[in-house]
Structure 1
Amino acid sequence: MTEPQNWSKSSFSGGGEGDTCVEIALLPGRIAIRDSKAPSQGTLTIPIGSFDALIQSLKRTTV
């Protein structure tokens, strides 16, 4: 698998240093996700469609 080069963090990241969030990066057909506080600890990759479904589900449950 190719290691992503362009990580993005949500503009809603909290904390004094803005490091209490996850980061995402695009890969061909997949989204890579990692912990912004510990990026070297590992990366989770999921299909783009599954990521979209996750985000839509979170939006429905957010107050």
Structure 2
Amino acid sequence: MKRRIQSHALTVKRLRWRPRAGRAGRAGQGGEEEGEGRVTGADSSWVQLASAGADHSVKIFNINRLAV
């Protein structure tokens, strides 16, 4: 089983929330990507947090507001 590392190698320099609900980059029905303006009912409970590290990496976390 491959382990996924969720931490940065160096200091986290910036945190930013995505300004709208939903998950960017998720494929819609049939494989096409959903447009930025459309948020389905299932995606409306999700928000995204991006963290930028001193190691020049960016990590994007999908967070379900209903599970928090």
Q: TM-score range by the shorter chain?
A: 0.3 to 0.5
More helix by percentage: 1
**TM-score, structure 1 as length reference:** 0.32
Structure with larger RCO (C-alpha < 8 A, sep 6+):
2
**TM-score, structure 2 as length reference:** 0.31
